[in-house]
Structure 1
Amino acid sequence: MNNPLLDDYKLRELTVEEFYAVYSERESLYFTTSTRDDLDAGLQGEERERIAARRAAFPHAERFQWGIYIGDEIVGWTVAQQSDHDTLLMRNTAIDPAHRGKGLYTALLPIVIEHARSEGYQRIQSTHLAANNAVIVPKLKAGFIITGLNVNEKFGLLVTLTCFLTQGRHHLALKRIGFRD
């Protein structure tokens, strides 16, 4: 994959190893407002072993990670994976601060939506900090709707957004949340 994204920006597929190398290097740059509390702090050896075994037993679903490049320089990424038979979960998207506000995220969304549709998914879901308007607003404009709120011990108040990939599911979801034409 070497697809145009916007102006001189391109999307390129990353291996899992490439993604985690870049993620480790840039996590603190991209996620300055997130707190990284160690949720495993205080766990003893046997507890850690049980948790590690449970995590290892979790099925590995279809997944992709795309780097956002300008020339040969990676300036961001998006990662998504299958969460059930019908759902693609957009897990994480990040863009270097110097490249934010240029429409990259808005340009990325239709590419992810078309990819999900072409792979047979029925919906795309994502979860965000409730105050992350830089992500929430473009997704709402792209056809996502708010389908949930929850409080997470790691991140706080989160909003779940869903893009239904068929008109029938989209209209049914709107009906279920009380929207009337």
Structure 2
Amino acid sequence: MYSKELKNGFVIKEVSQQELWSALDTHFNEAFSNRTDAKPTWQIDDASKEKIAGRQQSMVRYHLRLLVYSADNEVVGWHFGYSTDAETYYMQNSAVLLKYRNQGVYAEILTAALEVLGAEGFQVVTSTHHPNNAAVLIPKLKKGFVISSMLLHERFRLLVELKYFFSSERRKSFDKQMGLEFNP
């Protein structure tokens, strides 16, 4: 499993689903304390819930779960996501706890995730974000992600989709389709 020492005494490690969920149970609300939630106003009937759960269980997906620890073994942040198809990975959630922000930890998480995903042979990495989340958008744009679309989600509201292409040729093709030539 992936493990790497980072600057400032931090360590990033690939972890099991149980370890990730345990860390999220403890730290998720703190990491997203500024979030406002649009609670769903709809209900999913039990038969549909059962079918959805069955599909979720039967799908074989690649999952990546990373936790970042401080030198004293405290959780600092995380990343988790999954493959949406054989060549595309979706970065579902990443966060850094408030007291560890502005120390480059998110950029390190991003670098580590791309390192692992590239080694796994993924071609494209996608993610969605609130358009005013500069703390995530700026590091991703600096890393080479590009804005690929905007969408209005019924629960999470307006989101920006970003894509990262491991192949510069594929990125050039994407940019050309968007109307601009890619000049790295």
**Shift in CA distance, 170/100, structure 1 to aligned 2, threshold 3 Å:** same
Tell me the TM-score normalised to structure 1 length.
0.91
Give unpaired runs (5+ residues) of structure 2: none
**Shift in CA distance, 154/3, structure 1 to aligned 2, threshold 3 Å:** same
CA RMSD of aligned residues (A): 1.6
Pairwise CA distance, 1:116:
1.3
Tell me the TM-score normalised to structure 2 length.
0.89
CA separation in 2, counterparts of 1:118 and 1:170? 18
Pairwise CA distance, 1:74:
1.0
Aligned length: 178
- Structure 2 equivalent of residue 69 of structure 1: 69
Give unpaired runs (5+ residues) of structure 1: none
CA contact (8 A) 1:2 1:11 kept: yes
1:57 aligned to 55, 58, 67, which one?
55
* Identity across matched positions, percent: 26
Pairwise CA distance, 1:125:
0.6
What is the 5 A alignment of 1:104-143? 104-143=105-144
CA contact (8 A) 2:30 2:97 kept: yes
Q: Deviations over 1:36-58 (max 9, x none)?
A: 4442x6637xx133123213313
- Structure 2 equivalent of residue 28 of structure 1: 29
Aligned letter for 1:52? E
CA separation in 2, counterparts of 1:139 and 1:98? 21
SS in 2 for 1:151: strand
CA separation in 2, counterparts of 1:95 and 1:167? 29
Pairwise CA distance, 1:99:
0.1
SS in 1 for 2:85: coil
Pairwise CA distance, 1:159:
0.3
Pairwise CA distance, 1:133:
0.6
